Structure 1
Amino acid sequence: MLRKIAGYILSPIHYIAFGFILLIFQPIQWLALKLGGYKSHKVSVDILNLCLIGAYYLLGNRVRFINRYDLPTDRPILFVSNHQSLYDIPPLIFFLRKHHAKFISKIELTKGIPSISFNLKHGGGANIDRKDSKQSIAEILKLAKRMRERNWSAVIFPEGTRAKSANIKPFSIGGIATIIKKVPDILVVPIAINNSWKVVQHGKFPLSTFHTMSWTVLEPIEPKGIEIEEIVSKAEDEIRNYLTSRPFH
Protein backbone atom coordinates (compact mmCIF):
# COMPACT_ATOMS: atom_id res chain seq x y z
CA MET A 1 0.00 0.00 0.00
CA LEU A 2 2.81 2.42 0.88
CA ARG A 3 4.47 1.69 -2.47
CA LYS A 4 1.25 2.53 -4.27
CA ILE A 5 0.79 5.76 -2.33
CA ALA A 6 4.38 6.72 -3.12
CA GLY A 7 3.60 5.91 -6.75
CA TYR A 8 0.92 8.62 -6.89
CA ILE A 9 3.53 11.15 -5.77
CA LEU A 10 6.57 9.94 -7.71
CA SER A 11 4.98 8.77 -10.99
CA PRO A 12 4.39 12.30 -12.35
CA ILE A 13 8.02 13.21 -11.54
CA HIS A 14 9.23 10.07 -13.30
CA TYR A 15 7.06 10.63 -16.38
CA ILE A 16 8.12 14.28 -16.71
CA ALA A 17 11.79 13.29 -16.51
CA PHE A 18 11.33 10.33 -18.87
CA GLY A 19 9.49 12.46 -21.42
CA PHE A 20 12.02 15.30 -21.18
CA ILE A 21 14.87 12.85 -21.82
CA LEU A 22 13.12 11.48 -24.91
CA LEU A 23 12.44 14.98 -26.25
CA ILE A 24 15.96 16.30 -25.68
CA PHE A 25 17.62 13.27 -27.29
CA GLN A 26 15.54 13.44 -30.48
CA PRO A 27 17.60 16.32 -31.97
CA ILE A 28 20.78 14.97 -30.36
CA GLN A 29 20.34 11.65 -32.18
CA TRP A 30 19.58 13.41 -35.46
CA LEU A 31 22.67 15.59 -35.16
CA ALA A 32 24.89 12.67 -34.14
CA LEU A 33 23.71 10.59 -37.09
CA LYS A 34 24.14 13.41 -39.60
CA LEU A 35 27.61 14.46 -38.39
CA GLY A 36 29.16 11.19 -37.29
CA GLY A 37 27.14 8.36 -38.82
CA TYR A 38 26.40 5.09 -37.04
CA LYS A 39 29.19 5.33 -34.46
CA SER A 40 28.18 8.75 -33.14
CA HIS A 41 24.50 7.86 -33.27
CA LYS A 42 25.11 4.74 -31.21
CA VAL A 43 26.95 6.74 -28.54
CA SER A 44 23.97 9.10 -28.31
CA VAL A 45 21.60 6.12 -27.97
CA ASP A 46 23.76 4.59 -25.23
CA ILE A 47 23.71 7.86 -23.27
CA LEU A 48 19.97 8.21 -23.87
CA ASN A 49 19.31 4.83 -22.30
CA LEU A 50 21.62 5.54 -19.37
CA CYS A 51 19.55 8.66 -18.68
CA LEU A 52 16.31 6.66 -18.98
CA ILE A 53 17.64 4.20 -16.42
CA GLY A 54 18.32 7.18 -14.16
CA ALA A 55 14.61 8.04 -14.39
CA TYR A 56 13.81 4.66 -12.83
CA TYR A 57 15.54 5.83 -9.66
CA LEU A 58 13.10 8.75 -9.36
CA LEU A 59 10.57 6.06 -8.43
CA GLY A 60 12.91 4.65 -5.80
CA ASN A 61 13.48 1.63 -8.02
CA ARG A 62 16.92 0.10 -8.49
CA VAL A 63 18.57 -1.62 -11.45
CA ARG A 64 21.00 -4.53 -11.15
CA PHE A 65 22.74 -6.00 -14.18
CA ILE A 66 24.54 -9.22 -13.28
CA ASN A 67 27.04 -10.80 -15.65
CA ARG A 68 29.53 -13.36 -14.40
CA TYR A 69 30.61 -14.43 -17.88
CA ASP A 70 33.32 -13.02 -20.11
CA LEU A 71 31.23 -12.65 -23.24
CA PRO A 72 33.12 -12.33 -26.52
CA THR A 73 33.02 -9.13 -28.53
CA ASP A 74 34.55 -10.70 -31.67
CA ARG A 75 31.45 -12.70 -32.65
CA PRO A 76 27.70 -11.98 -32.82
CA ILE A 77 25.57 -12.92 -29.84
CA LEU A 78 21.85 -13.69 -29.77
CA PHE A 79 20.56 -12.65 -26.35
CA VAL A 80 17.39 -14.60 -25.54
CA SER A 81 15.30 -13.13 -22.73
CA ASN A 82 11.95 -13.27 -21.00
CA HIS A 83 9.90 -10.08 -21.23
CA GLN A 84 8.04 -8.38 -18.38
CA SER A 85 7.55 -4.72 -19.30
CA LEU A 86 8.81 -1.89 -21.50
CA TYR A 87 11.18 -1.08 -18.65
CA ASP A 88 13.16 -4.16 -19.71
CA ILE A 89 14.66 -2.43 -22.72
CA PRO A 90 16.85 0.56 -21.67
CA PRO A 91 19.07 -1.56 -19.36
CA LEU A 92 19.53 -4.14 -22.13
CA ILE A 93 20.57 -1.45 -24.60
CA PHE A 94 22.96 0.23 -22.18
CA PHE A 95 24.57 -2.74 -20.46
CA LEU A 96 24.96 -4.68 -23.72
CA ARG A 97 26.25 -1.64 -25.59
CA LYS A 98 29.67 -3.11 -26.42
CA HIS A 99 27.88 -5.94 -28.26
CA HIS A 100 25.84 -3.58 -30.47
CA ALA A 101 22.65 -5.40 -29.45
CA LYS A 102 19.71 -4.74 -31.81
CA PHE A 103 16.04 -5.47 -31.25
CA ILE A 104 13.20 -7.00 -33.21
CA SER A 105 10.41 -4.46 -32.71
CA LYS A 106 6.85 -3.84 -33.86
CA ILE A 107 6.79 -1.55 -36.88
CA GLU A 108 4.15 0.59 -35.17
CA LEU A 109 6.81 1.83 -32.75
CA THR A 110 8.77 3.49 -35.56
CA LYS A 111 6.30 6.40 -35.56
CA GLY A 112 5.25 8.98 -33.01
CA ILE A 113 7.60 8.32 -30.07
CA PRO A 114 10.39 10.88 -29.64
CA SER A 115 13.90 9.35 -29.65
CA ILE A 116 12.61 5.77 -29.55
CA SER A 117 11.04 5.87 -33.02
CA PHE A 118 14.11 7.62 -34.44
CA ASN A 119 16.43 4.96 -33.03
CA LEU A 120 14.24 2.13 -34.32
CA LYS A 121 14.31 3.65 -37.82
CA HIS A 122 18.03 4.32 -37.93
CA GLY A 123 19.63 2.04 -35.33
CA GLY A 124 19.85 -1.11 -37.46
CA GLY A 125 17.32 -3.40 -35.78
CA ALA A 126 14.40 -5.24 -37.40
CA ASN A 127 10.99 -3.52 -37.48
CA ILE A 128 8.37 -6.14 -38.23
CA ASP A 129 4.72 -6.06 -39.22
CA ARG A 130 3.14 -8.91 -37.28
CA LYS A 131 0.28 -9.03 -39.79
CA ASP A 132 2.69 -9.58 -42.68
CA SER A 133 4.77 -12.72 -42.28
CA LYS A 134 6.77 -12.14 -45.46
CA GLN A 135 7.78 -8.66 -44.36
CA SER A 136 8.67 -9.95 -40.88
CA ILE A 137 10.91 -12.70 -42.23
CA ALA A 138 12.56 -10.29 -44.67
CA GLU A 139 13.33 -7.83 -41.86
CA ILE A 140 14.82 -10.53 -39.64
CA LEU A 141 16.94 -11.78 -42.56
CA LYS A 142 18.25 -8.23 -43.10
CA LEU A 143 19.12 -8.01 -39.40
CA ALA A 144 20.91 -11.37 -39.58
CA LYS A 145 22.91 -10.10 -42.55
CA ARG A 146 23.99 -7.00 -40.63
CA MET A 147 24.91 -9.15 -37.64
CA ARG A 148 27.06 -11.37 -39.81
CA GLU A 149 28.75 -8.54 -41.70
CA ARG A 150 29.21 -6.03 -38.86
CA ASN A 151 29.61 -8.35 -35.88
CA TRP A 152 26.44 -7.01 -34.26
CA SER A 153 24.30 -8.84 -31.73
CA ALA A 154 20.54 -9.01 -31.20
CA VAL A 155 18.03 -9.33 -28.36
CA ILE A 156 14.92 -11.44 -28.86
CA PHE A 157 11.90 -11.98 -26.60
CA PRO A 158 10.65 -15.38 -27.79
CA GLU A 159 7.63 -15.54 -25.46
CA GLY A 160 5.80 -13.22 -27.86
CA THR A 161 4.14 -11.39 -24.97
CA ARG A 162 4.95 -10.16 -21.48
CA ALA A 163 4.72 -12.41 -18.43
CA LYS A 164 4.36 -11.35 -14.81
CA SER A 165 5.75 -14.40 -13.07
CA ALA A 166 8.36 -17.12 -13.22
CA ASN A 167 5.82 -19.19 -15.14
CA ILE A 168 7.09 -17.86 -18.46
CA LYS A 169 5.28 -18.79 -21.64
CA PRO A 170 6.78 -21.33 -24.09
CA PHE A 171 9.44 -19.84 -26.33
CA SER A 172 8.76 -19.54 -30.04
CA ILE A 173 11.45 -21.00 -32.27
CA GLY A 174 10.85 -18.95 -35.44
CA GLY A 175 12.95 -15.80 -35.03
CA ILE A 176 15.71 -17.62 -33.18
CA ALA A 177 15.96 -20.29 -35.87
CA THR A 178 16.15 -17.71 -38.67
CA ILE A 179 19.01 -15.82 -37.04
CA ILE A 180 20.99 -18.92 -36.00
CA LYS A 181 20.77 -20.36 -39.51
CA LYS A 182 21.98 -17.14 -41.12
CA VAL A 183 24.72 -16.27 -38.59
CA PRO A 184 26.87 -19.43 -38.37
CA ASP A 185 29.31 -18.22 -35.68
CA ILE A 186 26.65 -16.87 -33.33
CA LEU A 187 26.63 -17.51 -29.57
CA VAL A 188 23.29 -17.82 -27.73
CA VAL A 189 23.12 -16.15 -24.32
CA PRO A 190 20.00 -16.34 -22.09
CA ILE A 191 19.12 -13.36 -19.89
CA ALA A 192 16.65 -13.58 -17.00
CA ILE A 193 14.72 -10.39 -16.21
CA ASN A 194 13.20 -10.27 -12.74
CA ASN A 195 10.76 -7.80 -11.14
CA SER A 196 10.41 -5.20 -13.90
CA TRP A 197 6.74 -6.17 -14.15
CA LYS A 198 6.21 -4.86 -10.64
CA VAL A 199 6.74 -1.29 -11.79
CA VAL A 200 3.56 -1.49 -13.92
CA GLN A 201 1.56 -3.88 -11.76
CA HIS A 202 -1.11 -1.18 -11.23
CA GLY A 203 -1.01 -0.09 -14.86
CA LYS A 204 0.54 3.08 -16.21
CA PHE A 205 -0.57 5.07 -13.17
CA PRO A 206 0.40 4.90 -10.45
CA LEU A 207 3.68 3.19 -11.16
CA SER A 208 4.95 1.03 -8.32
CA THR A 209 7.96 2.13 -6.32
CA PHE A 210 11.00 0.89 -4.37
CA HIS A 211 11.64 -2.36 -6.20
CA THR A 212 14.97 -3.91 -7.19
CA MET A 213 14.85 -5.04 -10.80
CA SER A 214 17.51 -7.39 -12.13
CA TRP A 215 18.89 -8.46 -15.50
CA THR A 216 21.01 -11.60 -15.11
CA VAL A 217 23.20 -13.12 -17.82
CA LEU A 218 22.99 -16.92 -17.67
CA GLU A 219 25.29 -19.60 -19.02
CA PRO A 220 26.00 -19.11 -22.74
CA ILE A 221 24.95 -21.84 -25.16
CA GLU A 222 27.28 -22.83 -27.99
CA PRO A 223 24.83 -23.73 -30.79
CA LYS A 224 27.21 -25.64 -33.05
CA GLY A 225 26.17 -29.26 -33.37
CA ILE A 226 22.90 -28.76 -31.45
CA GLU A 227 19.40 -28.83 -32.92
CA ILE A 228 17.66 -25.46 -32.78
CA GLU A 229 14.74 -26.90 -30.79
CA GLU A 230 17.21 -28.05 -28.14
CA ILE A 231 18.91 -24.64 -28.04
CA VAL A 232 15.58 -22.85 -27.51
CA SER A 233 14.49 -25.39 -24.88
CA LYS A 234 17.78 -25.03 -23.01
CA ALA A 235 17.56 -21.22 -22.99
CA GLU A 236 13.95 -21.38 -21.80
CA ASP A 237 14.82 -23.85 -19.04
CA GLU A 238 17.79 -21.76 -17.85
CA ILE A 239 15.62 -18.65 -17.55
CA ARG A 240 12.69 -20.46 -15.93
CA ASN A 241 14.92 -22.25 -13.41
CA TYR A 242 16.62 -19.00 -12.46
CA LEU A 243 13.35 -17.14 -11.99
CA THR A 244 11.67 -19.88 -9.97
CA SER A 245 14.55 -19.71 -7.50
CA ARG A 246 13.98 -15.95 -6.98
CA PRO A 247 11.15 -14.16 -5.11
CA PHE A 248 8.43 -12.82 -7.39
CA HIS A 249 6.01 -11.47 -4.83
Structure 2
Amino acid sequence: MADTHAKATLQDWTRSIPASALLASTMLSCDLPLRAINKLRGRESLVDAGHLLAKVMWQAFAMTGATLEVVGREHIDPSARYLIVANHQGFSDVIVIATALRELKPRYVAKRELAHGWPSISYLITASGSAVIDRKQPEAAIAEIERLGRDAKREGWNVAIFPEGTRAKDGVARTWKVRGTQALLDATRPCKVLPVSLIGGSELFAHNGLPFTANVRMRCHVHPPIDPPEPSEDFAAWLETVRQTVSSVL
Protein backbone atom coordinates (compact mmCIF):
# COMPACT_ATOMS: atom_id res chain seq x y z
CA MET A 1 0.00 0.00 0.00
CA ALA A 2 1.34 3.44 -0.93
CA ASP A 3 2.21 5.94 1.81
CA THR A 4 0.47 9.03 0.48
CA HIS A 5 1.80 11.16 3.36
CA ALA A 6 5.51 10.43 2.87
CA LYS A 7 7.63 13.52 2.35
CA ALA A 8 9.54 13.94 -0.88
CA THR A 9 13.25 13.27 -0.60
CA LEU A 10 16.18 14.89 -2.35
CA GLN A 11 16.61 11.70 -4.37
CA ASP A 12 12.97 11.93 -5.48
CA TRP A 13 13.63 15.41 -6.87
CA THR A 14 17.02 14.76 -8.45
CA ARG A 15 15.67 11.75 -10.34
CA SER A 16 12.35 13.35 -11.25
CA ILE A 17 13.82 16.38 -13.01
CA PRO A 18 15.45 14.46 -15.90
CA ALA A 19 12.60 11.94 -15.95
CA SER A 20 9.95 14.63 -16.32
CA ALA A 21 12.06 16.36 -18.96
CA LEU A 22 12.17 13.12 -20.98
CA LEU A 23 8.41 12.64 -20.61
CA ALA A 24 7.66 16.20 -21.73
CA SER A 25 10.10 16.20 -24.64
CA THR A 26 8.86 12.81 -25.85
CA MET A 27 5.23 13.87 -25.84
CA LEU A 28 5.98 17.20 -27.53
CA SER A 29 8.29 15.81 -30.20
CA CYS A 30 6.09 12.83 -31.14
CA ASP A 31 2.76 14.61 -31.59
CA LEU A 32 3.22 15.67 -35.23
CA PRO A 33 4.87 12.38 -36.30
CA LEU A 34 1.95 10.44 -34.82
CA ARG A 35 -0.50 12.54 -36.82
CA ALA A 36 1.53 11.93 -39.97
CA ILE A 37 1.65 8.17 -39.33
CA ASN A 38 -2.12 8.06 -38.92
CA LYS A 39 -2.69 10.02 -42.12
CA LEU A 40 -0.18 8.10 -44.23
CA ARG A 41 -0.29 4.58 -42.76
CA GLY A 42 -3.63 4.36 -40.96
CA ARG A 43 -4.98 3.66 -37.50
CA GLU A 44 -3.25 0.35 -36.80
CA SER A 45 0.15 1.84 -37.59
CA LEU A 46 -0.73 4.70 -35.25
CA VAL A 47 -1.48 2.22 -32.47
CA ASP A 48 1.84 0.43 -33.11
CA ALA A 49 3.64 3.77 -32.89
CA GLY A 50 1.77 4.56 -29.70
CA HIS A 51 3.13 1.43 -28.06
CA LEU A 52 6.66 2.44 -29.04
CA LEU A 53 5.93 5.82 -27.46
CA ALA A 54 4.80 4.07 -24.27
CA LYS A 55 8.07 2.13 -24.21
CA VAL A 56 10.05 5.38 -24.35
CA MET A 57 7.85 6.94 -21.68
CA TRP A 58 8.44 3.94 -19.45
CA GLN A 59 12.16 4.68 -19.72
CA ALA A 60 11.43 8.03 -18.09
CA PHE A 61 9.97 6.22 -15.09
CA ALA A 62 12.97 3.88 -15.13
CA MET A 63 15.19 6.95 -14.73
CA THR A 64 13.63 7.42 -11.29
CA GLY A 65 14.75 3.91 -10.36
CA ALA A 66 11.36 2.33 -11.04
CA THR A 67 11.30 -1.31 -12.12
CA LEU A 68 8.50 -3.27 -13.77
CA GLU A 69 7.79 -6.93 -13.14
CA VAL A 70 5.19 -8.70 -15.28
CA VAL A 71 3.57 -11.75 -13.71
CA GLY A 72 1.20 -14.15 -15.48
CA ARG A 73 2.04 -13.56 -19.13
CA GLU A 74 1.44 -17.28 -19.66
CA HIS A 75 -2.28 -16.55 -19.26
CA ILE A 76 -2.34 -14.44 -22.44
CA ASP A 77 -3.37 -15.97 -25.75
CA PRO A 78 -2.41 -13.43 -28.45
CA SER A 79 -5.06 -14.90 -30.77
CA ALA A 80 -7.88 -14.38 -28.25
CA ARG A 81 -9.88 -11.21 -27.71
CA TYR A 82 -10.03 -9.72 -24.22
CA LEU A 83 -11.76 -7.15 -22.11
CA ILE A 84 -8.96 -6.12 -19.73
CA VAL A 85 -10.32 -5.08 -16.33
CA ALA A 86 -7.78 -3.38 -14.07
CA ASN A 87 -7.51 -1.25 -10.97
CA HIS A 88 -6.64 2.41 -11.48
CA GLN A 89 -3.52 3.89 -9.88
CA GLY A 90 -2.60 6.88 -12.02
CA PHE A 91 -1.06 8.20 -15.22
CA SER A 92 1.31 5.25 -15.37
CA ASP A 93 -1.49 2.68 -15.84
CA VAL A 94 -1.80 2.97 -19.60
CA ILE A 95 1.98 3.12 -20.03
CA VAL A 96 2.41 -0.04 -17.95
CA ILE A 97 -0.34 -1.94 -19.80
CA ALA A 98 0.94 -0.80 -23.21
CA THR A 99 4.45 -1.94 -22.23
CA ALA A 100 3.63 -5.16 -20.39
CA LEU A 101 0.79 -6.34 -22.65
CA ARG A 102 2.04 -4.83 -25.88
CA GLU A 103 0.85 -7.71 -28.08
CA LEU A 104 -2.77 -7.01 -27.10
CA LYS A 105 -2.71 -3.40 -28.39
CA PRO A 106 -5.79 -2.44 -26.36
CA ARG A 107 -8.02 0.56 -26.77
CA TYR A 108 -9.10 2.27 -23.57
CA VAL A 109 -11.99 3.91 -21.80
CA ALA A 110 -10.45 7.29 -20.95
CA LYS A 111 -11.74 10.30 -19.07
CA ARG A 112 -12.42 13.51 -20.99
CA GLU A 113 -9.53 15.39 -19.35
CA LEU A 114 -6.99 13.21 -21.17
CA ALA A 115 -8.47 13.96 -24.59
CA HIS A 116 -7.28 17.59 -24.60
CA GLY A 117 -4.03 19.33 -23.78
CA TRP A 118 -1.68 16.34 -23.59
CA PRO A 119 0.65 16.28 -26.62
CA SER A 120 0.74 12.86 -28.30
CA ILE A 121 -1.40 11.27 -25.57
CA SER A 122 -4.58 13.17 -26.41
CA TYR A 123 -4.19 12.47 -30.11
CA LEU A 124 -3.56 8.77 -29.54
CA ILE A 125 -6.68 8.47 -27.39
CA THR A 126 -8.99 10.24 -29.80
CA ALA A 127 -7.58 8.90 -33.08
CA SER A 128 -7.07 5.27 -32.04
CA GLY A 129 -10.77 4.62 -31.46
CA SER A 130 -10.65 4.66 -27.66
CA ALA A 131 -13.69 5.92 -25.77
CA VAL A 132 -13.58 9.40 -24.25
CA ILE A 133 -16.12 9.89 -21.49
CA ASP A 134 -17.33 12.75 -19.31
CA ARG A 135 -18.32 11.36 -15.93
CA LYS A 136 -20.66 14.33 -15.43
CA GLN A 137 -22.73 13.14 -18.41
CA PRO A 138 -23.44 9.48 -17.62
CA GLU A 139 -25.84 8.77 -20.48
CA ALA A 140 -23.45 10.13 -23.08
CA ALA A 141 -20.62 8.22 -21.40
CA ILE A 142 -22.51 4.93 -21.66
CA ALA A 143 -23.27 5.59 -25.32
CA GLU A 144 -19.58 6.23 -26.00
CA ILE A 145 -18.57 3.06 -24.14
CA GLU A 146 -21.10 1.06 -26.16
CA ARG A 147 -19.70 2.59 -29.35
CA LEU A 148 -16.21 1.43 -28.37
CA GLY A 149 -17.54 -2.05 -27.62
CA ARG A 150 -19.22 -2.34 -31.02
CA ASP A 151 -16.09 -1.12 -32.80
CA ALA A 152 -13.91 -3.52 -30.80
CA LYS A 153 -16.13 -6.47 -31.67
CA ARG A 154 -16.19 -5.54 -35.35
CA GLU A 155 -12.46 -4.82 -35.64
CA GLY A 156 -11.19 -7.51 -33.27
CA TRP A 157 -9.68 -5.07 -30.79
CA ASN A 158 -8.87 -5.73 -27.16
CA VAL A 159 -10.24 -3.15 -24.75
CA ALA A 160 -9.16 -2.01 -21.28
CA ILE A 161 -11.36 -0.40 -18.64
CA PHE A 162 -10.62 0.85 -15.12
CA PRO A 163 -13.95 0.44 -13.29
CA GLU A 164 -12.87 2.56 -10.30
CA GLY A 165 -12.99 5.68 -12.45
CA THR A 166 -10.95 7.77 -10.01
CA ARG A 167 -7.48 6.54 -9.12
CA ALA A 168 -6.86 5.01 -5.70
CA LYS A 169 -4.17 7.18 -4.10
CA ASP A 170 -3.33 4.52 -1.50
CA GLY A 171 -3.25 1.61 -3.96
CA VAL A 172 -6.36 -0.10 -2.58
CA ALA A 173 -9.03 -1.01 -5.16
CA ARG A 174 -12.22 0.90 -4.39
CA THR A 175 -15.80 -0.08 -5.17
CA TRP A 176 -16.13 -0.51 -8.91
CA LYS A 177 -18.71 1.21 -11.07
CA VAL A 178 -21.01 -1.40 -12.55
CA ARG A 179 -22.88 0.29 -15.36
CA GLY A 180 -20.03 1.26 -17.68
CA THR A 181 -18.29 -2.09 -17.31
CA GLN A 182 -21.52 -3.96 -18.01
CA ALA A 183 -22.23 -1.83 -21.08
CA LEU A 184 -18.76 -2.52 -22.46
CA LEU A 185 -18.92 -6.23 -21.73
CA ASP A 186 -22.36 -6.59 -23.29
CA ALA A 187 -21.16 -4.81 -26.44
CA THR A 188 -18.01 -6.93 -26.76
CA ARG A 189 -19.46 -10.39 -26.05
CA PRO A 190 -18.30 -13.15 -26.35
CA CYS A 191 -14.77 -11.98 -25.45
CA LYS A 192 -12.95 -13.26 -22.37
CA VAL A 193 -12.36 -11.05 -19.34
CA LEU A 194 -8.71 -10.59 -18.35
CA PRO A 195 -8.30 -9.32 -14.76
CA VAL A 196 -5.10 -7.31 -14.27
CA SER A 197 -3.65 -5.96 -11.02
CA LEU A 198 -1.47 -2.85 -11.29
CA ILE A 199 0.86 -2.28 -8.36
CA GLY A 200 3.15 0.65 -7.61
CA GLY A 201 1.55 3.44 -9.62
CA SER A 202 0.00 5.08 -6.57
CA GLU A 203 3.39 5.05 -4.86
CA LEU A 204 5.12 6.52 -7.91
CA PHE A 205 2.60 9.39 -7.85
CA ALA A 206 2.33 9.66 -4.06
CA HIS A 207 3.06 13.41 -4.26
CA ASN A 208 0.23 14.11 -6.74
CA GLY A 209 2.58 15.09 -9.52
CA LEU A 210 6.20 16.03 -9.06
CA PRO A 211 8.38 14.71 -7.70
CA PHE A 212 7.95 11.08 -8.62
CA THR A 213 8.86 8.69 -5.84
CA ALA A 214 12.26 7.12 -6.50
CA ASN A 215 12.98 3.39 -6.66
CA VAL A 216 9.40 2.13 -6.88
CA ARG A 217 8.93 -1.56 -7.65
CA MET A 218 5.98 -1.72 -10.03
CA ARG A 219 4.16 -4.86 -11.04
CA CYS A 220 1.60 -5.88 -13.65
CA HIS A 221 -0.06 -9.10 -12.48
CA VAL A 222 -2.13 -10.87 -15.15
CA HIS A 223 -4.70 -13.29 -13.73
CA PRO A 224 -6.20 -16.24 -15.64
CA PRO A 225 -8.93 -15.11 -18.06
CA ILE A 226 -12.52 -15.77 -17.06
CA ASP A 227 -15.77 -16.15 -18.93
CA PRO A 228 -18.22 -13.26 -18.82
CA PRO A 229 -21.37 -13.80 -16.76
CA GLU A 230 -24.52 -15.14 -18.33
CA PRO A 231 -27.14 -12.44 -19.04
CA SER A 232 -29.30 -13.94 -16.29
CA GLU A 233 -26.55 -13.62 -13.65
CA ASP A 234 -26.25 -10.78 -11.12
CA PHE A 235 -23.67 -8.62 -12.88
CA ALA A 236 -22.80 -6.54 -9.82
CA ALA A 237 -22.06 -9.68 -7.80
CA TRP A 238 -19.97 -11.11 -10.64
CA LEU A 239 -17.99 -7.86 -10.98
CA GLU A 240 -17.31 -7.89 -7.25
CA THR A 241 -15.63 -11.29 -7.62
CA VAL A 242 -13.44 -9.83 -10.37
CA ARG A 243 -12.58 -6.89 -8.10
CA GLN A 244 -11.62 -9.29 -5.35
CA THR A 245 -9.37 -11.19 -7.76
CA VAL A 246 -7.62 -7.97 -8.78
CA SER A 247 -7.37 -6.84 -5.13
CA SER A 248 -5.96 -10.16 -3.94
CA VAL A 249 -2.37 -9.23 -4.83
CA LEU A 250 -2.45 -5.50 -4.10
TM-score w.r.t. length of structure 1: 0.91
Deviations 1:81-107 (A, max 9, x none): 111121122111233232231111122
Inter-partner Cα distance in structure 2 for 1:91 and 1:132: 28
Aligned positions of 1:214-229 closer than 5 A? 214-225=219-230, 227-229=234-236
Would you say 1:237 and 2:244 are equivalent positions? yes
Inter-partner Cα distance in structure 1 for 2:172 and 2:7: 27
User: Could you list the runs of 5+ residues in structure 2 that have no partner in the other structure?
Assistant: 1-5
Q: Which residue of 2 aligns with 1:247?
A: none
Q: What is the SS of the residue equivalent to 1:242? A: coil
Q: Is the 8 A contact 1:105 1:126 kept in 2?
A: yes
Q: Is the 8 A contact 2:67 2:215 kept in 1?
A: yes
127, 134, 138: which one aligns with 2:143: 138
Inter-partner Cα distance in structure 2 for 1:18 and 1:213: 18
Aligned positions of 1:47-126 closer than 5 A? 47-126=52-131
Residue 11 of structure 1: how far off its partner (Å): 1.1
Deviations 1:208-243 (A, max 9, x none): 101111111012111153542243112111112222
Letter in 2 for 1:94: T
Q: How many residues matched?
A: 243
Q: What is the SS of the residue equivalent to 1:15? A: helix
Q: What is the SS of the residue equivalent to 2:211? A: coil
Q: Is the 8 A contact 1:159 1:172 kept in 2?
A: yes
Q: Is the 8 A contact 2:100 2:220 kept in 1?
A: no
1:68–1:46: structure 2 CA closer, same or farther, 3 Å change rule?
A: closer
1:47–1:227: structure 2 CA closer, same or farther, 3 Å change rule?
A: same
1:240–1:89: structure 2 CA closer, same or farther, 3 Å change rule?
A: same
Q: Is the 8 A contact 1:140 1:178 kept in 2?
A: yes
166-175 or 64-73, which moves further after superposition? 64-73
Q: What is the SS of the residue equivalent to 1:215? A: strand
Residue 170 of structure 1: how far off its partner (Å): 1.1
Q: Is the 8 A contact 1:7 1:59 kept in 2?
A: yes
Letter in 2 for 1:220: P
Inter-partner Cα distance in structure 1 for 2:74 and 2:178: 25
User: Could you list the runs of 5+ residues in structure 1 that have no partner in the other structure?
Assistant: 244-249
Letter in 1 for 2:214: T
Q: Is the 8 A contact 1:166 1:240 kept in 2?
A: no
Inter-partner Cα distance in structure 2 for 1:69 and 1:227: 30
Deviations 1:40-85 (A, max 9, x none): 1112101000000111111111112222433233443111111112
Q: Which residue of 1 aligns with 2:3?
A: none
